[in-house]
Structure 1
């Protein structure tokens, strides 16, 4: 299963015999819910976790996303990403490398990396072997949007599951 809201992923891991879940944009500098919520349940239930979108579908790259205004992130997420890109530049760091470091050290069995250039792929591979420095990590995390604003909507409202009385369009929490 993949791409579902956190509460749906947690429920499926607890209530079904799923072997692995694929989630995206939940282990990134902008949102740490993979480590905070998904990994503990996966560990308890013996479920493998595949992570994706460490660079938040491009917003955590030096040039920003190719999606422009069509990116699913909220203005708060975009603004936080811009602040993180600025911080990286000020610190002489590569925001994509830093985003990959953060993401790959959050407990998922696998992290899927998308790269349009060999140099970006090589950078992501290097990030696997170098944990993020704690001071730099803290500086980035201080720029996160508020917890209520860390998620973005994805999928069509009519495809959302109704869970515990929630209506289509509910938060990704």
Structure 2
């Protein structure tokens, strides 16, 4: 795994090759204890990870609070934190139940309110700083503005520029599960980075159509999330999920064929999935969601695995990857 300090876009913010996705320690789907969350962050640090991504959405602020606490005693200049704007958390006193309908095993103490207004963005950053226990945020992403594109462009983005000028932010990005709208942001703003989830993997190269070439042209750093496509490329088997739903038979079959080729070259499928995005020059970091120390150490070990050029060549020969897709060069 490459060392920390990879430049992210045109500014001064740097990231590590492997990024820690903190949705899991916000109790994504199942509970995680405070101790397990701390152990996961410590394991990431010990593995060389210096980029940590969170959001208010993750566990109704729990992820931000846990991440901030786990990093509190680390040298502030040695790590990068990103969080997101677009969903404000509004208290709901006395509301019963949990937040599992939105994917998080936490009490329903708050509700999420979509808000890409300038005032909403500033409030979101102020709240995140308080939960994280920080005085600045390295990267702020516009979070899933799919149905709020115009407001995000005309109100939220300019406010992030003001916050950056005030020193509360280091870089501005957009984070989405689609590639088309982020391409519009790259064309129409001075973004530093894009967090693209699920659209540039061994199974889905949608980001290559326009976004990645455009990002490279504009000097925008791209962070790739969802390299396992919500689990299928981590362990392809009947019942595995692809984009958070049961994998269709044809997609599962393709994943199993990918696994077969990888194993023939002595490479775990997880290692190839993690390494693949770095074939494109716009890609700076790969973000993996982890909830415990074991998962963190596995991701770091997989990214360190040697992947031969012959593996990528065979995947193209067998039409499991398009012939024109850029692939990483073997490290010798």
Q: How high is the TM-score relative to the length of structure 1?
A: 0.65
1:101 aligns with 2:279: no
Please give the per-residue CA displacement for 1:6-53, whole angstroms capped at 9, x wherever unaligned. Answer: 232222211123232110123321233445643321122232211111
Q: Distance in 2 between matches of 1:109 and 1:67?
A: 26
Structure with the bigger percentage of strand: 2
Q: Please tell me whether the aligned partners of residues 195 and 225 of structure 2 are also in contact (alpha carbons under 8 angstroms).
A: yes
Question: In structure 2, what is the equivalent of residue 13 of structure 1?
Answer: 186
**Aligned-pair distance for 1:79?**
2.1
Q: Distance in 2 between matches of 1:24 and 1:81?
A: 18
1:125 aligns with 2:286: no
Distance 1:22 1:96, change over 3 A: same
- Bigger shift: 133-142 or 49-58? 133-142
Please give the per-residue CA displacement for 1:63-109, whole angstroms capped at 9, x wherever unaligned. Answer: 54754895275543332112112333444431111211213443312
Q: Distance in 2 between matches of 1:69 and 1:42?
A: 24
Structure with the bigger percentage of helix: 1
Indicate the structure whose relative CO is greater, using CA pairs within 8 Å and at least 6 residues apart: 1
Question: In structure 1, what is the equivalent of residue 215 of structure 2?
Answer: 42
Structure 1 unaligned blocks of 5 or more: 147-173
Structure 2 unaligned blocks of 5 or more: 1-173, 323-332
Q: How high is the TM-score relative to the length of structure 2?
A: 0.37
- 1:135 equivalent among 289, 301, 310: 310
Q: Distance in 2 between matches of 1:129 and 1:101?
A: 9
Q: Distance in 1 between matches of 2:254 and 2:311?
A: 15
1:85 aligns with 2:244: no
Distance 1:30 1:114, change over 3 A: same
1:115 aligns with 2:296: no
Distance 1:132 1:31, change over 3 A: farther
Distance 1:10 1:35, change over 3 A: same
Distance 1:71 1:43, change over 3 A: same
